[in-house]
Amino acid sequence: MRVLVLHAHPVPESFNAALYRTVVESLGAAGHEVDACDLYAEGFDAVLSREERAGYHDLSGNTRPVAGYVERLQAAEALVLCFPVWNFGYPAILKGFFDRVFLPGVSFKLVDGKVRPNLWNIRRLVAVTSYGGTRWRALLMGDPPRKAVCRVLRAVCHPAARPLYLAHYDMNRATPQSRAAFLADVAQKIRRL
């Protein structure tokens, strides 16, 4: 399977970077074709420009500024997101990726004024993430990142796409043992993708 892995953390020594490496290595070990995309390392510009927004619905040219990323997304059969939860949301660079790359004609199409999914090539959707707070705290806040992945992103993928959401909660009190156990769990579940 061709898998696009999006990584959104600026610190190469972070636990999230270790998760990203574990995902990429586990996918490769399982025989998948991996497109590893570290948004920070690639210098992805998360800012949607005035010109891009003005041409957002122009299907003949809206992908031009991000054509390479659109091609990578459209070539993938699975999408894996590796990101930390910051302020109960995505890091700005990942949100910017969705704003700039998940365009009309790419992730969705308008049919009689209604949004229809267009990423039928994505048959598997995975998020590997970490939260500073507890699962209980995330639930009290409505857990927006989980909903964004399992509902919003899933809605533009193939109808049979099954989301998998793997989260290490309470990183503020994580131990070497809890981090190691989560890395092992991620490796095992990713190899079965």
CATH entry 3.40.50.360 includes domain 2-191? yes
Averaged pLDDT score across all residues of the chain = 95
pLDDT band at 144 (very low <50, low <70, confident <90, very high): confident
Kindly tell me if the per-residue pLDDT of 136 is higher than 90.
no
**Among 149, 48, 35, CA closest to 103:** 48
Angle between helices 67-75 and 92-101 (to 10 degrees): 90
Q: Where are the domains of the chain?
A: 2-191
Per-residue pLDDT, 58: 94
User: Quick one: tokens of 46?
Assistant: 């998360």
Kindly report the three-state secondary structure assignment for every residue of 105-158.
CCCEEEECCEEEECECCCCEEEEEEECCCCHHHHHHCCCHHHHHHHHHHHHHEC
Helices (H), the chain: 15-29, 50-54, 67-75, 92-101, 135-140, 144-147, 154-156, 176-191
Per-residue pLDDT, 64: 97
pLDDT average, residue stretch 156-168: 95
Kindly tell me if the per-residue pLDDT of 156 is higher than 90.
yes
pLDDT average, residue stretch 95-120: 95
Per-residue pLDDT, 141: 85
Residues of the chain above pLDDT 90, percent: 89
**Among 156, 10, 190, CA closest to 83:** 10
User: Quick one: tokens of 149?
Assistant: 């992945």
DSSP label at 65?
G
Q: How many CA atoms lie within 13 A of 90 on its CB side?
A: 22
Q: Are 91 and 8 spatial neighbours (Cβ–Cβ below 8 Å)?
A: yes
Bigger pLDDT: 143 or 71?
Answer: 71
Dihedral of CA 99/114/165/187: which sign?
A: negative
Per-residue pLDDT, 139: 82
pLDDT band at 84 (very low <50, low <70, confident <90, very high): very high
Distance CA 61, CA 55 (A): 7
Residues of the chain above pLDDT 70, percent: 100
